[in-house]
Amino acid sequence: MTGATLVVGVGRSDRGDDGVGPAVVQLVASRLPGESGVRILAQEDPTALLDLWGGHDHVVVVDAVVTGDAAGTIHRFDVGAEAPPLPAGVRAQVAQAGTHAIGLGTAVELGRALHRLPARVVVLGVEAGCLDIGTALSSPVADSVEAAAALVWKELAADVPG
């Protein structure tokens, strides 16, 4: 195990479906073998990724997104340095569900512009339904947590010894 893989759930757990990222990575963490070497974090501030992912060459980010699809729909974006830049429209979509002016999409493209983007970064975006403060995950999003965790696991398959 190289220890070079990072999994980050971005979002606020007390803001409805914005908490799906932390919920998914918590589930993934509970199933990881003790010595997997995979680093798993929850983070509210997307700009923190610019430092967090330093030294990692494979990063999986789970965040809520708003694209207009049904709540709970899971999107997959390849956004690493080896992938083409996010189009501005997609960048806005990926950023939109967050609570900060600098969203995940902007953090990714800042990383690319500053040569601070790991080679492989996969964003798993879970379509949000409700972002109200003080609410828990909506039913469709809560139901998608298991599937999203399975997709994270699939991304990690090559990094975690079976």
Least distance in angstroms from the C-beta of 137 to other proteins: 15
| 72-101 positions binding other proteins, by CB under 8 A | 91-92, 99-101
Segment interacting with other proteins, rule: CB under 8 A, options 24-32, 47-55, 70-78, 142-150: 47-55
Strand partners, 9: 42, 62
Residue from 51, 84, 158, 162 binding other proteins (CB under 8 A): 51
Query: Tokens standing for 96?
Result: 């939109």
Q: How far apart are CA 94 and CA 125, in angstroms?
A: 7
Q: How far apart are CA 67 and CA 61, in angstroms?
A: 17
Is residue 124 a contact partner of residue 148, using CB atoms and an 8 Å limit? yes
Least distance in angstroms from the C-beta of 44 to other proteins: 5
Residue placing its CB nearer to other proteins in the complex, 47 or 73? 47
Least distance in angstroms from the C-beta of 66 to other proteins: 10
Q: How far apart are CA 39 and CA 54, in angstroms?
A: 12
Tell me: does residue 146 bind other proteins (CB under 8 A).
no
Residue from 68, 70, 114, 157 binding other proteins (CB under 8 A): 114
At which residue do the structure tokens 């950023």 appear? Answer: 95
